[in-house]
């Protein structure tokens, strides 16, 4: 492989989840028909791009010849290609025209056409899968909007200090998306660090896809099936053009990708099309077909209004969370639920769990919310400072917030409240086991949840395999 000599990596593990995880990923690539070494090297350097130690141009040039050899053509997103797309050049719609040649051929599906035509065709024709309202999928969610308006960016605030480990979010996600047993787009784990004496003992981590603004999984996708949706910054997979090379799985720092090995347990005809195809008529939601990649999607068909306007700005996991530890919304809007939660976590927690007959707490909530006029200093009644202090005493202060593996430079769109796992964190048993839960599928089968990852994750750390 030509990129071998130029890679800036070492013999040590490049993956933030550690050597064991990296070995598992390499073995998974060996089960495909695609170049294992190319996938591993591209993943390593895609992470170097997000960290800022390798430029996009250098990355593209380094692997151009190898991608050409493996996939037949190389039109992975570059600055020049993006500029051409945004210019509205009519000549850039090559894939749509090329696909017309296959009309009426029932023996060739769209994904096979893409595979045969090569990666370049996939990139040039992304607009072929879009509606006129959203003709061009985005390469970088950070480029949308202008001036003070940064554009819509869906994301989450996750409160690890109030998450009770009930796994309701995992179960709800599986039900919403009709996922196979063991495919956990939402994953919750408990951990302990023997080198840190934390007052609360075992800690918890909630791990959906981070929907990174600079996602390395996109950089290695030869068909650009893995892409960022321009309208809202969601990182999605177009099931119709994914060829299942699994390069995205290796390049993801967070371990959120799943390959659909077998025919899904829930057949496609049991799932409403409105829960598969988004506003661009691209199949990006619900469980994946056989042979392609899937991951947490942040419920794009909800965001597109397919389930009613009242569901826009919500996710299945958020709706199911009893302590309201999951807050979903526009991370660019200061008034959105996650931003408001992060501004005053104690207040948000009090709103979620305070009893209606707890008059003092309810009064404090109303004062801090601005619903009730606070007392002046020295007067009878509760001042605003006293109200906030009472709420913090009730809900607890949130001293620590973090973005997961922020040093990777991916700019994840999830912010956590709580303790970040350290290099020696070890997974431990949570209060509820995955195999205790199940859901009734659309075709009336009981699908039991399973923690298929624990046999790997229990052996490692965040510097290893905790995620």
Range with lowest mean pLDDT among 116-125, 179-188, 380-389, 429-438: 116-125
- Mean pLDDT to the nearest integer, 232-250: 96
- Mean pLDDT to the nearest integer, 184-212: 87
List the one residue out of 407, 191, 133, 169 whose CA is nearest residue 296: 169
Is 86 domain-assigned?
Answer: yes
Q: How far apart are CA 397 and CA 389, in angstroms?
A: 10
The count of structural domains within the chain is 1
Is 36 domain-assigned?
Answer: yes
pLDDT value at 15 more than 90: yes
Can you tell me which residue has the tokens 């389930």?
Answer: 307
Q: What integer best gives the mean pLDDT of the chain?
A: 82
Contacts of 198 (CB under 8 A, 6+ apart): 419
pLDDT, residue 379, reads: 85
- Write the pLDDT tens digit of every residue in 249-303: 999 999 999 999 999 999 999 999 999 999 999 999 999 999 999 999 999 999 9
Is 273 domain-assigned?
Answer: yes
Is 235 domain-assigned?
Answer: yes
Is 387 domain-assigned?
Answer: no
Is 298 domain-assigned?
Answer: yes
Q: How far apart are CA 363 and CA 7, in angstroms?
A: 61
The better pLDDT of the pair 75, 85 is held by 75
pLDDT, residue 256, reads: 96
442 near 270, Cβ under 8 Å? Answer: yes
State pTM to two decimals.
0.81
Can you tell me which residue has the tokens 């995205």?
Answer: 248
Is 87 domain-assigned?
Answer: yes
pLDDT, residue 193, reads: 86
Provide the residue range defining the domain that includes 239. Answer: 13-149+212-310
Which of the four pLDDT bands, split at 50, 70 and 90, describes residue 80? low
Q: How far apart are CA 297 and CA 183, in angstroms?
A: 13
Is 415 domain-assigned?
Answer: no
pLDDT value at 9 more than 50: no
């Amino acid at each position: 492989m030509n990129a071998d000599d130029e890679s800036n990596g070492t013999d040590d593990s490049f993956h933030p989840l550690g050597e064991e995880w990296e070995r598992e990923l390499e073995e998974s690539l060996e089960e495909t028909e695609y170049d294992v070494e190319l996938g591993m090297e591209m993943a390593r350097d895609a992470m170097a791009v997000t960290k800022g130690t390798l430029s996009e141009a250098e990355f593209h040039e380094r692997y151009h010849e190898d991608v050409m050899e493996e996939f037949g053509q190389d039109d992975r997103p570059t600055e020049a290609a993006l500029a051409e797309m945004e210019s509205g050049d009519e000549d850039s719609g090559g894939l749509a025209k090329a696909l017309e040649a296959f009309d009426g051929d029932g023996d060739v599906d769209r994904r096979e056409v893409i595979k045969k035509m090569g990666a370049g065709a996939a990139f040039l024709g992304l607009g072929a899968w879009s509606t006129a309202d959203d003709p061009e999928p985005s390469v970088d969610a950070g480029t949308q909007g202008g001036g003070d308006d940064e554009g819509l960016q869906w994301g989450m605030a996750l409160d690890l200090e109030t998450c009770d480990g009930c796994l309701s979010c995992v179960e709800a996600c599986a039900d919403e998306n009709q996922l196979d047993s063991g495919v956990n787009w939402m994953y919750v784990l408990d951990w302990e660090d023997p080198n840190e004496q934390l007052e609360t003992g075992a800690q918890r981590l909630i791990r959906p896809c981070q929907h990174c603004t600079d996602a390395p999984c996109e950089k290695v996708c030869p068909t650009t099936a893995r892409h960022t949706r321009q309208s809202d910054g969601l990182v999605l997979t177009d099931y119709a053009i994914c060829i299942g090379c699994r390069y995205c799985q290796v390049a993801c720092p967070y371990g959120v990708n799943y390959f659909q090995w077998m025919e899904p347990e829930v057949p496609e005809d049991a799932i409403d099309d409105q829960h598969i195809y988004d506003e661009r008529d691209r199949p990006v939601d619900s469980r994946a077909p056989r042979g392609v990649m899937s991951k947490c999607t942040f419920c794009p068909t909800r965001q597109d209004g397919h389930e009613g306007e009242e569901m826009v700005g919500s996710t299945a996991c958020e709706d199911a969370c009893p302590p309201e530890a999951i807050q979903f919304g526009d991370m660019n809007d200061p008034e959105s639920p996650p931003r408001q939660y992060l501004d005053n976590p104690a207040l948000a927690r009090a709103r979620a769990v305070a009893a209606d007959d707890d008059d003092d707490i309810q009064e404090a909530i109303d004062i801090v919310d601005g619903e009730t006029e606070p007392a002046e200093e020295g007067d009878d009644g509760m001042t605003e400072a006293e109200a906030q202090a009472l709420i913090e005493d009730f809900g607890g202060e949130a001293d620590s917030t973090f973005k997961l593996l922020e040093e990777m430079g991916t700019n994840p769109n999830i912010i956590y409240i709580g303790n970040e796992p350290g290099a020696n964190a070890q997974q431990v048993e949570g209060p509820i086991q995955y195999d205790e839960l199940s859901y009734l599928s659309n075709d009336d089968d009981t699908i039991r949840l399973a923690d298929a990852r624990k046999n790997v994750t229990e052996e490692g750390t965040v510097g290893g395999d905790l995620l």
